[in-house]
Amino acid sequence: MLVFIGMGLWDERDISLKGLEEARRADEVYIEFYTSKLIGTNLEKIENLLGREIKVLERSDLEENSRVLVREAKAKNVAILVPGDPMVATTHSALKLEAEREGVKTKIIHGASILSAVCGLTGLHNYRFGKSATVSYPYGKPSATPVNVVKANWSIDAHTLLYLDLHPEPMLIPTAVEILRKAGLENCFAVGIARAGSEEPAVKCDFLEELCQYDFGEGLHVIVVLAKTLHFMEYECLRTFASAPSALEKLVR
């Protein structure tokens, strides 16, 4: 059996009781910090909580060498600890697919994800979010993909959650804003969010280019680019939770 266990957003205490039990009784426990990070903790603290050794998986263990994990899960109960909610990363669904095709039973213990957390932190309505995208470090020409996704979402009046690249190091909001502006995104409002799930998350709404002026502190960072209109409750929440400027009022329909 191969069990994917969501670790939630911030530290080792974001795991569910069910996830903790499942990890403690597994034959082997792995963890991966490739698809996301848990900034508020470290391997030692997680091992202490579980009371056992945890092996760290690299990207190659999850992808081109995934058959090693799958083979092990045929004979034993293997648990993989994953930041956030497992399977939001496509790497995990590919691994789950390979396992099931090999006749290995799989299970998911869900954890909290940035996908839903942004609604609570910003007050933006979850049903108004459109497609999401990742802002990647530019190698050569800046990629237009996130900007195209924002524009597609604007065409149906939806917000856009933008993940920021994690490799080689977690991208911070000023870098992402610069990349988005170079790719042609301007004249819009956005919300920068840092450390979702921690005791001190930072949430700030302003014109996209102004977000560079604000100190969000340490990562992880994400950005929500707002739709072209806001529900009045979204506006009120952004004013209170995210110190949005009063100029935002013009978006209220």
Region from 11-19, 169-177, 181-189, 209-217 binding a copy of itself, contact rule CB under 8 A: 11-19
Dihedral angle computed from the Cα positions of residues 154, 155, 156 and 162, in that order, rounded to the nearest 10 degrees = -30
Is residue 62 within 8 A of residue 34, CB to CB? The reply is yes
User: Of 43, 94, 188, 212, which one interacts with a copy of itself (CB under 8 A)?
Assistant: 94
Q: Kindly identify the residues of this chain, within the stretch 55-84, that bind a copy of itself according to CB under 8 A.
A: 84
Query: Is residue 233 close enough to count as binding a copy of itself by CB under 8 A?
Result: yes
Give Cα 233 to chain centroid, integer Å: 25
Dihedral (CA of 56, 57, 59, 60) sign: positive
The strand pairing partners of 205, in sequence order, are: 191
Q: Do the bridges between strand 202-207 and strand 221-225 make them parallel or antiparallel, or are there none, so unpaired?
A: unpaired
Please identify which residue in the block is written with the tokens 């205490």: 13
The two structure tokens encoding residue 67: 């058959």
The two structure tokens encoding residue 231: 């529900």
Number of residues that bind a copy of itself (CB under 8 A): 64
* Residue number with CB closer to a copy of itself (125 or 181): 125
53/221 Cα distance (integer angstroms)? 30
CB of 189 to a copy of itself, least distance (A): 18
CB of 156 to a copy of itself, least distance (A): 4
Is residue 111 within 8 A of residue 86, CB to CB? The reply is yes
x-marked contacts with a copy of itself along 163-202 as a string, rule CB under 8 A: ---------------------------------xx-x---
x-marked contacts with a copy of itself along 114-153 as a string, rule CB under 8 A: -xxx-xxx-x-xxxxxxxxxx--------------x--xx
Residues that bind a copy of itself (CB under 8 A): 4, 6, 8-9, 11-18, 20-21, 84-88, 90, 92-94, 96-97, 100-101, 107-108, 110-113, 115-117, 119-121, 123, 125-134, 149, 152-153, 155-156, 158, 196-197, 199, 233, 236-237, 240-241
